[in-house]
Amino acid sequence: MLSKTKKRWSIFLFLSPWIISFLVFELYPLIFSVYISFTEYSGLNPQKIFVGFSNYIQAFSDEVFLIALRNTFIFVILTIPFTIGIALILAILLNNKNLPGRNFFKAGFFLPSVISMVVISMMWLYLYSADGLFIKLGTMMGFDLPARSFLASPDSALMSIMFMDVWAAFGYYVIFIFAGLQNIPEALYEAARIDGASSWKIATKVTLPMIKPTLFFVISINTIRSFQIFSEIYTMTGGGPRNSTQTMVHYLYEVSFKKFQLGYGSAISYILFIIIMIFTIIQKRALRSDY
């Protein structure tokens, strides 16, 4: 009996590094930020004034917040279909055993995912610049483009970042979907073929249902990551020009650390949390996944 208790405690002992760091660096900030989201708190000054829900109410009459909300939704809604669509098509192509150089493609697609987002951003900052590759290519093809960075104009800045993001993200999901495809037993396809199913039928009735859990996983991960877009914006545009690339996480950073409104910033982060939660629940329902 004694040894059993001892054993139990020794498990906790081994888990304690994680438990301690979780309590100090995750649970405590989490609870603290809920608390300060109901206060007016500058971060510099220890004084916290309780203001109830007014930070949350303020957000929905704050013009810049609404722009950030809209941009974030545009970003999420327009990038996810492309990222996942491209990833799905490429994964199906990779799944073909007769494809020569399969490993080369797998590694190549995945490559952008191992590079830090800041490095990718710096690279594309140059590609999009007035002196960069895209303007040069465009001029060579005879388009009359103004010598202006794609990121300097409010009409093109957000689209440019979205394009870059699709490029940088799809490879990561190719690998997940590919792994999902590999898990489908060959016997299912054989059985379907024997029963005379067309390739369309096989794709919709065998492949898709079988990779649904994987698809749910990649779509929800991608949704969360897209809602939280920050480093691209921070490195490339700082939310500008004229807030055209302002997103929720970038705005909450600005509010908290440049304007010293940590209470308001925390409230924005909880609004984002609720939005992401709703989206994830909807996706889970829509894909009727048990995962």
Partner 1 sequence: MFKKVFIILTVVLLATFGFAKEKIVFWNFMMDEDTASLILDKFEEKNPDIEVEFVQLSWANGFDKIVTAFAAGTAPDVLELGNTWVANFANEGVLTDLSIYKNVRDDIVGWNQVQFNGKYWGFPWLLGTRAMYYNIDLFMQAGLDPENPPKTWSEVLEAAKKIDALGSDVYGMGMAIGEPYSPWQEWFLPAVWGNNGDIMTKNLKTATLNSPEAIEAAQFYKDLSKYALKTKMNDLQAAFGQGKLGMLVTGANVISDTASSYPETNFYVSFVPKPDKGGFSASFAGGEVLTVPKQSKHKEAALRLVKYLVEADVAMDITKRVPVIFPSNSKAAEDPWFEDHPLEQIFLEQNATAVPASPHPKFEDIQSLVSTAVEEIVLDNADIKKTLDKYNTRIQIILDETKW
Binding site for partner 1 (CB under 8 A): 42-46, 129-131, 146-149, 151-154, 157, 237-243, 257-260, 262
Q: State CA 56 to chain mean position distance.
A: 24
Q: Inter-axis angle of helices 63-94 and 157-182, to 10 degrees?
A: 40
Q: Which is nearer to partner 1, 42 or 113 (CB)?
A: 42
Q: How far is the CB of 259 from partner 1 (least distance, A)?
A: 6
Q: Does residue 91 sit in helix, strand or coil? A: helix
What is the closest distance, in whole angstroms, from the C-beta atom of residue 128 to partner 1 in the complex? 10
Indicate the residue among 213 and 240 with the shorter CB distance to partner 1: 240
Residue 224: CB minimum distance to partner 1, A: 23
The minimum distance between CB 291 and partner 1, in angstroms, equals: 37
Is the CB of 100 or the CB of 146 nearer to partner 1? 146
CB of residue 158 vs partner 1: minimum separation in angstroms? 12
What's the chain's length in residues? 291
Minimum gap (Å) between residue 262 Cβ and partner 1: 8
Cβ nearer to partner 1, comparing 91 with 117: 117
d(CA 98, CA 101): 9
Token pair belonging to 37: 């989201």
Name residues whose C-beta falls within 8 Å of residue 265's C-beta, 6 or more positions apart in sequence.
252, 253, 255, 256, 257
Q: Confirm if 150 and 124 have CB atoms less than 8 A apart.
A: no
Closest to partner 1 by CB, 243 or 280: 243
Count CA atoms closer than 13 A to 31's CA, side-chain side: 6
Q: Which is nearer to partner 1, 43 or 209 (CB)?
A: 43
Q: At CA 217, angle to CA 215 and CA 218, rounded to 5?
A: 65
Nearer to partner 1, 149 or 247 (CB): 149
Smallest distance, partner 1 to C-beta of residue 136, A: 12
Stated as kind and residue range, the H or E segment containing 271 is helix 262-286
The residues with which 150 forms a beta bridge, in sequence order, are none
Name residue, tokens 């390739």.
199
Kindly write down the DSSP assignment for every residue of 202-242, as one continuous string.
HIIIIIHHHHHHHHHHHHHHHHHHHHT--HHHHHHTTT-ST
